[in-house]
Amino acid sequence: MPDMTDARNRMVDVQIARRGVRDEHVLDAMRTVPREAFVAPGYEEFAYEDGPLPIGHGQTISQPYIVALMVEAAGVRPGDRVLEIGAGSGYAAAVMGEIAAHVHAIERHEPLARMAEARIAAAGVDNVEVHVGDGTLGWPEAAPFDAIVVAAGGPSVPAALKGQLKQGGRLVIPVGEAEFGQSLRRITRTGPDSWDEEAIGAVRFVPLIGAQGWAEDGRRAASSHVPGQNSGKTLPQMVADAAEPLPDTEDPSFAPFFDRYADRRVVLLGEASHGTSQFYRARAAITRHLVETHGFTIVAVEADWPDAAAVNRFVMHQAAREFEDPAFTRFPTWMWRNTVIEGLADWLRVHNGTVADPDRRAGFYGLDIYNMRGSIAAVLDYLDEVDPEAARIARERYGCLTPWQRDPATYGRAVLSNRYRDCEDEVVAQLRDLLERRLHYEAQDGASFLDAAQNARLVRSAEQYYRVMYYGGAESWNLRDSHMFETLEHLLQARGPDAKAVVWAHNSHIGDARATEMGAVRGEHNIGQLCRERFGDDAALIGFGTHTGTVAAATDWGGDMEVKRVRPSREDSYERVCHDSGVPRFLLDMTRDEALRRRLMEQRLERFIGVIYRPETELMSHYADAALPQQFDGWVWFDETGAITPLPPDHRREGVPDTWPFGV
């Protein structure tokens, strides 16, 4: 068997420690026990991936993080006597055996028990005894125990296990109806007949079968009923009670539900997919209301700056540029070239026509990084008008990017392979020179300078982005979101101290990254996190979700748009909790019900559909662990949704100004 020490250490560092497990006993034990020795033959190469693996008899070896979380929660210490229920592969028992004095593990499947026994011995752990029996009854011959860890979900906490704890002992067990997922609980014995109970997080385990658990047919075993236990409301019922039902997005009473966020400097609206009509229409209604009623002057979207600038010139009644291509013709065109954005642009133009003070008009701006070619053209066009000599120098500097402007991803590959020098010094120098002439240029036309300066920033950031993207990891993601946040800051500064912004982006950009595995595991930040760190309570983060319906998306990057059926949400997801509430459309204010907030803090899966949607790999490609109340201040729910309607490729309108951005 190959040496997998490096993979084991990486698992501990990335999957476990980054998620918050701090107990050195646990981390050291998981660095020691070879997980590859406990998986089924043929799965060794997957042993250190972030997920469970099959071991036979319908059982799995748990995700490494869950093993670490449960052992840490149980407070296993040197010298302890430990009981494990559900030995399975034997891996968790071996990990606890590395820490404790003695471990008793119970497995109801005798073949699994014998296999676990052999694997534990082969791993060099000699203080674990594996027994065959009903784990819900514990192992009274060896009681009392300092810690009990149950690796299966029961309908309630078995009384037998509570009775086998020492005073001060800890029992960790998943509890809950299988259809609603389970809550990982820690029960601490505080006296002869008293226990404290606390929730740790949401989990999904196989059923705990036995006299004080579930029956084989899935019903609650007769002796598992405990008077007064589990008599409270389910999580979906709690959501239903706290949810504020919403009218249709076109109803005038829809947007005022969001007045509670109108005093914030920044309101961020994040959708769970890039191609869902209800999300776009809801954000448009909220945006119109914030602009018209509450004086917001910045609409900043997850779109390329030069393309959004064409829309901005239209809504601000400014002249079009001669060189300008139609807006949003780069993949994915439907994300911004759709009927909702066209309608919003028309509305903003009409609204701005009624506002006498140009500083109080609402602009439409792009935050994203991709259209390097358009940004270079915009900088050169601006300098041609205000400073021809500076334009000549800029052309020389940007010349090194000329071969890559239409396909900038190839630039990063060329630099990586040392076949072409990178252009970092040139694009940084160009931005620096432009900013050093700021006062001179702004005196001629402040709005045009803002556009040129931001395009120069985009070229600088894009050069960095395409240079680092071939290395993978968090660096390119973080660079992109940092650029979007810095663009937002520049807009707020340029529009004045009273400026307020509404931001449109995907949930993975809006929801605070620290509350998801992208931040906890992959070390990625996003614009939502950066706004919270910068603006504190002056930033409102509002997410969107759905259960099922259709979505406009492609199968591969650069592919054709398709209207795809969205699979019903997984049972272990936040989306399924919302669906099971029975409320078809609602706003959930995360500050409204503290008990609900605590329940929702238990991590669950959350779905993210971008411009690519692959239903056949949905769990791996579109779900991630999250803690919803830490991600968002509010959550907008549409139980069933439909695909956005794109503008046709040959879309034209008669009688529109020449600044109209959606023509071809």
Rounded to 5 degrees, φ, ψ at 50 are -85, 70
Instruction: Look up residue 517 and give its two tokens.
Output: 């595995």
According to DSSP, residue 150 is labeled E
Average pLDDT over residues 227-236: 60
| Cβ atoms of residues 94 and 117 within 8 Å | no
C-alpha 315/C-alpha 451 separation (Å) is: 15
Question: Does residue 461 surpass a pLDDT of 70?
Answer: no
> Residue 271: which of 636, 639, 642 has the closest Cα?
636
- Position with higher pLDDT, 500 vs 617: 500
- What is the rounded average pLDDT for all residues in the chain? 86
According to DSSP, residue 133 is labeled S
Question: What is the DSSP track for 399-463?
Answer: GGGGGGSSSTHHHHHHHHTTSS---HHHHHHHHHHHHHTHHHHHHH-HHHHHHHHHHHHHHHHHH
Q: Residue 361 to residues 291, 315, 402, 500: CA-CA distances in angstroms?
A: 9, 9, 36, 12
Active site residues: 62
Instruction: Look up residue 215 and give its two tokens.
Output: 């029956």
Residue 292's H or E segment, with its range, is helix 277-294
Question: Does residue 408 surpass a pLDDT of 60?
Answer: no
Condensed to tens digits (0 to 9), the pLDDT of residues 318-351 reads 887 765 567 888 889 999 999 999 999 999 999 9
Residue 554: band (very low, low, confident or very high) from pLDDT cuts 50, 70, 90: very high
Condensed to tens digits (0 to 9), the pLDDT of residues 481-495 reads 988 898 899 899 889
> Looking up tokens 């028992």, which residue turns up?
93
Condensed to tens digits (0 to 9), the pLDDT of residues 7-46 reads 999 999 988 998 889 999 999 999 999 999 998 887 888 8
Considering the chain, what percentage of its residues have pLDDT values greater than 90?
57
pLDDT of residue 406: 55
C-alpha 62/C-alpha 464 separation (Å) is: 40
pLDDT of residue 374: 64
Residue 230: band (very low, low, confident or very high) from pLDDT cuts 50, 70, 90: very low
| Cβ atoms of residues 77 and 25 within 8 Å | yes
C-alpha 636/C-alpha 290 separation (Å) is: 17
Residue 402: band (very low, low, confident or very high) from pLDDT cuts 50, 70, 90: low
pLDDT of residue 159: 94
Question: Does residue 542 surpass a pLDDT of 70?
Answer: yes
Report which residue type is found at 22: R
| Cβ atoms of residues 623 and 574 within 8 Å | no
pLDDT of residue 462: 60
Q: How far apart are the first and last CA of the chain?
A: 61
> Residue 632: which of 539, 542, 545 has the closest Cα?
542
Considering the chain, what percentage of its residues have pLDDT values greater than 70?
83
Residue 31's H or E segment, with its range, is helix 24-32
pLDDT of residue 393: 73
Residue 57: band (very low, low, confident or very high) from pLDDT cuts 50, 70, 90: low
pLDDT of residue 419: 46
C-alpha 240/C-alpha 234 separation (Å) is: 10
- Position with higher pLDDT, 282 vs 368: 282
Question: Does residue 224 surpass a pLDDT of 90?
Answer: no
pLDDT of residue 470: 45
Condensed to tens digits (0 to 9), the pLDDT of residues 249-277 reads 999 999 999 999 999 999 999 999 999 99
Domains of the chain plus CATH, in order, are: 5-232 (3.40.50.150), 239-296+500-649 (3.40.1660.10)
Angle, helix 372-386 to helix 446-468, in steps of 10 degrees = 140
C-alpha 106/C-alpha 152 separation (Å) is: 12
Residue 183: band (very low, low, confident or very high) from pLDDT cuts 50, 70, 90: confident
pLDDT of residue 610: 93
C-alpha 291/C-alpha 130 separation (Å) is: 66
Residue 205: band (very low, low, confident or very high) from pLDDT cuts 50, 70, 90: confident
pLDDT of residue 46: 85
Question: What is the DSSP track for 57-92?
Answer: TTEEEPPHHHHHHHHHHHT--TT-EEEEE--TTSHH
> Residue 138: which of 205, 222, 82, 78 has the closest Cα?
82
Question: Does residue 413 surpass a pLDDT of 80?
Answer: no
Highest mean pLDDT among 70-84, 218-232, 432-446, 485-499: 70-84
Question: Does residue 181 surpass a pLDDT of 70?
Answer: no
DSSP helix/strand/coil, 379: helix
| Cβ atoms of residues 634 and 587 within 8 Å | yes
Condensed to tens digits (0 to 9), the pLDDT of residues 563-612 reads 999 999 998 899 999 999 999 999 999 998 988 988 888 778 999 999 99
